[in-house]
Amino acid sequence: MPTTESTTPYPTATPSSPPPPQLWVGLDWGDTQHSYVWQDRSGQREEGTLEPSPEKLHQWLQSLGERTGGRPVRLALETRHHPVLHALVQYPWLEIYPVNPVTSARYRSAFTPSGASDDLPDARVLLELVRDHADKLRPFHQPDALSLQLTGLVQARRALVDRRTALTNQLTILLKSYYPQALQLFESLNSALAIALLRRWPNVIDLKAAKPGVLKRFYYQHQVRSAALVQARLDLIKSTVALTTEEATVSVAQMQLQALLDQLEIVRKHVARFDVQIKRVFARHPEASLFRDLPGAGPQLAPRLCVAFGTDRTLYPDPSSLQKFLGVAPVREKSGHQLWTHWRWRAPAFARQSLIEWAGQTVRYCHWARTYYERMLKKGKKHPAILRALAFKWIRVLWKCWQQRTPYDDARYARQLLHRQSPNAVTP
């Protein structure tokens, strides 16, 4: 139940500053209940809990809107509760401030050295942060509809790809335990050929019983047309010896094999469906032309780069702001006479990984990127560190193209590098 009390009024704005919100709200989102604390401009405060249901949440939000007459309300919640953001953005008078869990935890521990924590005090911490330190927080900006949809699609696809990788790893381990020769009969487990072969011949005995003509037709039907390759695989099959013929072991392994193949087929089917939908949405995105033809981007990475940048150019007034947000810019710390550099924490991992993966692809397709990579290798730098540094450089280049709405021109940039006598320039 809510409780209301009156406290010392919070100072009002000066004539030269914008008017403050009518309410400040701290919302702690829990699994079994949600706790909130709000304070208005007069200092009146209310604390309470909400049942974890959409109906109760919207009812509470509507009551806040009625109380303030639809005037601004500033609300803070921890960033790990992303699903509730989709409900909050439906109320245009809400100014939403996602708070990093580390920020709220350290703020709380500063005044609670014992480490004690529960939902209502957490909501009070969020209220204090949004009321007293909003200038140090980053307000939430809802992406446009196409960017929001494309973001969901590429993230969901990546989750499916990770699941597919896990399944192929499990299949590899299983086959090595009783049927290792199968791994030499196809290029990849993530293929229609591999799935069909393992379904038809799930053990060495069945495989060796197959006639050469049947095997040749099988490979031909699955687009393996190299006579030399097919013959090499037939020779391998002819010489194979079963790792084990123990029925108790092989029968269980075959059941596991069928279960994993069923899952892999389903995941492959849905990855293909996501690929089709991503292509359609990306083609309609207003920023697609800036990312579609980037060197090494391709149909998977180009949409991911697009959503990493977004459409709101006011969020990143300079390239360093974007480098820091994406977590590519390193952090330098100094204490006394010591200075050290470390990985930036709490950055959006998916967006950061998109930039780093793409930077790795540009080494293959972009001359100056390859030159930089090779220079760093000669200096003794490690592969992951080089790609992070290369992504850092690419963000500066893409930020300029993005701000000016001009697609990247590799030849033009190469000429600029030559003009500046950059060590990454490639002499024609």
Q: Cα-flanking dihedrals φ and ψ of residue 142, to 5°?
A: -70, 125
CA of residue 283 relative to chain centroid, distance: 21
Q: Confirm whether 46 is domain-assigned.
A: yes
Mention every residue, 6+ apart, whose C-beta is less than 8 A from residue 205.
242, 245
Strands 73-78 and 44-50: unpaired
Model confidence over 187-230: pLDDT tens digits?
Answer: 999 999 999 999 999 999 999 999 999 999 999 999 999 999 99
Tell me the sheet residues that pair with 23: 40, 73
Q: How does the average pLDDT of the chain come out, rounded? A: 89
Domain of residue 113, CATH code: 3.30.420.10
* 95 and 154 share one domain: no
- Please give the C-alpha separations between residue 268 and each of 107, 127, 185, 264, 315, in angstroms, as whole numbers: 45, 46, 20, 6, 37
pLDDT (0 to 100) of residue 114: 54
* 167 and 239 share one domain: yes
CB 357 within 8 Å of CB 370: no
Q: Which residue has the higher pLDDT, 117 or 323?
A: 323
* 137 and 151 share one domain: no
CA of residue 244 relative to chain centroid, distance: 43
Q: Confirm whether 290 is domain-assigned.
A: no
* Residue the block writes with tokens 């280049």: 397
Select from 228, 257, 282 the last residue of a domain. Answer: 282
Model confidence over 7-60: pLDDT tens digits?
Answer: 444 545 444 455 679 999 999 988 888 999 999 999 999 999 999 899 999 999
* 87 and 151 share one domain: no
* 91 and 201 share one domain: no
Select from 92, 112, 141 the last residue of a domain. Answer: 141
Domain of residue 171, CATH code: 1.10.287
* 136 and 167 share one domain: no
pLDDT (0 to 100) of residue 264: 98
Model confidence over 230-249: pLDDT tens digits?
Answer: 999 999 999 999 999 899 99
Q: The domain containing residue 97 runs over which residues?
A: 3-141
Q: Which of 100-109, 166-175, 265-274, 329-338 has the weakest average pLDDT?
A: 329-338
% of residues, the chain, pLDDT over 70:
88
Question: What does 241-306 look like in DSSP terms, one character per residue?
Answer: --S---HHHHHHHHHHHHHHHHHHHHHHHHHHHHHHHHHHHHHH-TTHHHHTTSTT-HHHHHHHHH
* 123 and 78 share one domain: yes
* 171 and 262 share one domain: yes
Q: How many domains does the chain contain in total?
A: 3
Select from 120, 141, 162 the last residue of a domain. Answer: 141
Q: Which residue has the higher pLDDT, 376 or 333?
A: 376
pLDDT (0 to 100) of residue 198: 97
Is the pLDDT confidence value at 81 over 80? no
Mention every residue, 6+ apart, whose C-beta is less than 8 A from residue 275.
157, 299, 300
* 154 and 135 share one domain: no
* 258 and 317 share one domain: no
pLDDT (0 to 100) of residue 325: 87
Is the pLDDT confidence value at 382 over 60? yes
Model confidence over 284-316: pLDDT tens digits?
Answer: 999 999 999 999 999 999 999 999 999 999 989
Q: Which residue has the higher pLDDT, 344 or 342?
A: 344
Kind and range of the H or E element at 42? none
Q: At residue 428, what is the residue type?
A: P
DSSP symbol at 11: P
Sheet of 34-40: strands edge to edge? 3-6, 44-50, 34-40, 23-28, 73-78, 94-99
Is the pLDDT confidence value at 280 over 60? yes
CB 237 within 8 Å of CB 197: no
pLDDT (0 to 100) of residue 3: 58
* 131 and 154 share one domain: no
Q: Confirm whether 426 is domain-assigned.
A: no
Q: Cα-flanking dihedrals φ and ψ of residue 185, to 5°?
A: -100, 0
Q: Cα-flanking dihedrals φ and ψ of residue 235, to 5°?
A: -65, -40
At 103, the pLDDT band (50, 70, 90 cuts) reads confident
DSSP symbol at 347: -
pLDDT (0 to 100) of residue 262: 98
pLDDT (0 to 100) of residue 79: 78
Helix extents (H) in 179-246: 192-200, 204-209, 212-221, 227-239
What is the rounded CA–CA span in Å between residue 324 and residue 390? Answer: 15
pLDDT (0 to 100) of residue 349: 87
* 175 and 260 share one domain: yes
* Residue the block writes with tokens 């809802």: 142
Q: Confirm whether 221 is domain-assigned.
A: yes
Q: Confirm whether 291 is domain-assigned.
A: no
pLDDT (0 to 100) of residue 8: 43
* Residue the block writes with tokens 């050290």: 340
Q: Confirm whether 317 is domain-assigned.
A: yes
What is the rounded CA–CA span in Å between residue 373 and residue 295? Answer: 15
Q: Which of 5-19, 87-101, 319-333 has the weakest average pLDDT?
A: 5-19
What is the rounded CA–CA span in Å between residue 415 and residue 426? Answer: 9
pLDDT (0 to 100) of residue 104: 84
Is the pLDDT confidence value at 4 over 60? no
